[in-house]
Chains A and B, each alone.
Chain A
């Protein structure tokens, strides 16, 4: 499986602004002092070797949208946040040869940040294209139609060129979609959300966003430990610090990096990807969150297998 992140932010798009770009430029130019940057190769190697990720790049500001290539001839997409716009443009520009115009979307839940990309997903306007929206909720069609309705959007849902279908998934069984076996699990979140376990060719990917882990997480038989068991990659909502998640933001439906690491260790997962970044966090803050999480993983590990930790960014690609 190949995973590409098109949107990694939670709640609301959070683009880098002029002051943010200027601050990066200033840091980079200060770092460049004394470096010989005579040709492009020297500049490239300076960028790659002398600058941190938050200095040379950005985590991006689009909301949740993740593309999974299972090797099948149909698309598999997790959520339709604002990142779906760039994904749609890439597909329309011929960026996915060998795939038919069938888009299987697993929707975590119909909160705005997870559906706002559909009206800007170019394939939705093309006759002959087919979008199948799957989810644990039974009323997804209502939520998606509503965001197209006047006065909020100029194109009514029924005017979309593509055929858009909705399929409610039973969490009690496994489903075969785009060449992969799909399991799902209800999560603690306002209006419920669903996490997905996508298994193909012996590899498993967990997509678990907008999920709060409360006191029950301390129980020996916590169902999420089994759901995450042995996963090759766990994409996890680590929006808040533990202190926030347990105090002022209790019941806001999100989780923390500490709980992410602990659940992954208990489940024997191999790689954790921090996701659904706080729109209030700048690139430096997300980079610090990642380095803190790496530190906590080492402190917490004890007899568990080492867990690799990465932070999602718009454009990140991972193989598993």
Chain B
């Protein structure tokens, strides 16, 4: 799974369908990142076409772990189908959603937002 750092923020970029088969690798990657003290994690959904209940549960666990560690998890770049699934499941009330990566970084860290702006 593609993972990179922008200043003090970690950006995770899963791709394709997040379903029963692909949730475990996402969760294995996501949870350790969110458990770090003051973790700042973005899950970039630009390459994701679908997310199932199991994937949403993994995001919820990530958001919970981040909160417990005084950190924060933000997701961004939902395509229309995935945005619809967030609305239908009411998960936009469970996990913080931002429109794009710039907004997600700005929500978490001014240094990451600045680093992203300046390429």
Contacts and interface: CB of A to CB of B under 8 A. Distances in A.
A289 to B, nearest CB: 9
A258 interface: yes
B91 A300 contact: no
A244 to B, nearest CB: 7
B60 A218 contact: no
Interface in B78-111: 81, 84-85, 87-91, 93-94
B20 A292 contact: no
A242 B91 contact: yes
Contacts, number: 57
A296 B85 contact: yes
Given A243-B94, A299-B84, A256 B89 contact: yes
A300 B94 contact: no
B54 interface: yes
A243 B93 contact: yes
Nearest to A292: B88
Contacts of A293: 88
A244 B56 CA distance: 12
B94 A257 contact: no
A40 interface: no
B6 to A, nearest CB: 29
A259 B53 contact: yes
B89 A243 contact: yes
A241 B89 contact: yes
B13 interface: no
Nearest to B56: A242
Nearest to B94: A243
B50 interface: yes
A215 B60 CA distance: 13
Main SS of chain A's interface residues? helix
Contacts of A256: 53, 89
A244 B60 CA distance: 12
Interface string A219-230: 010000000000
Given A218-B23, A243-B93, A295 B88 contact: yes
Contacts of B17: 302
Contact of A299 (B23, B60, B81): B81
A49 interface: no
Interface in A30-54: none
Best-buried of B50, B52, B57 by chain A (most CB within 10 Å): B52
A243 B91 contact: yes
B94 A246 contact: yes
Interface string B49-87: 010111011001000000000000000000001001101
Contacts of B87: 292
Contacts of B23: 218
Contacts of A217: 53-54
Contacts of A241: 88-90
B94 A247 contact: yes
B85 A215 contact: no
Interface of B: 17, 19-20, 23, 50, 52-54, 56-57, 60, 81, 84-85, 87-91, 93-94
18 contacts: A218-B20, A220-B20, A241-B88, A242-B56, A242-B90, A243-B89, A243-B94, A247-B60, A256-B53, A258-B85, A259-B53, A262-B53, A292-B87, A292-B88, A293-B88, A299-B84, A302-B17, A302-B50
Interface of A: 215, 217-218, 220, 241-244, 246-247, 256-259, 262, 292-293, 295-296, 299-300, 302
Given A256-B53, A293-B88, 4 more contacts: A217-B53, A262-B53, A295-B84, A299-B50
| 5 nearest CB pairs, A to B | A243-B90, A242-B89, A241-B90, A292-B88, A218-B54
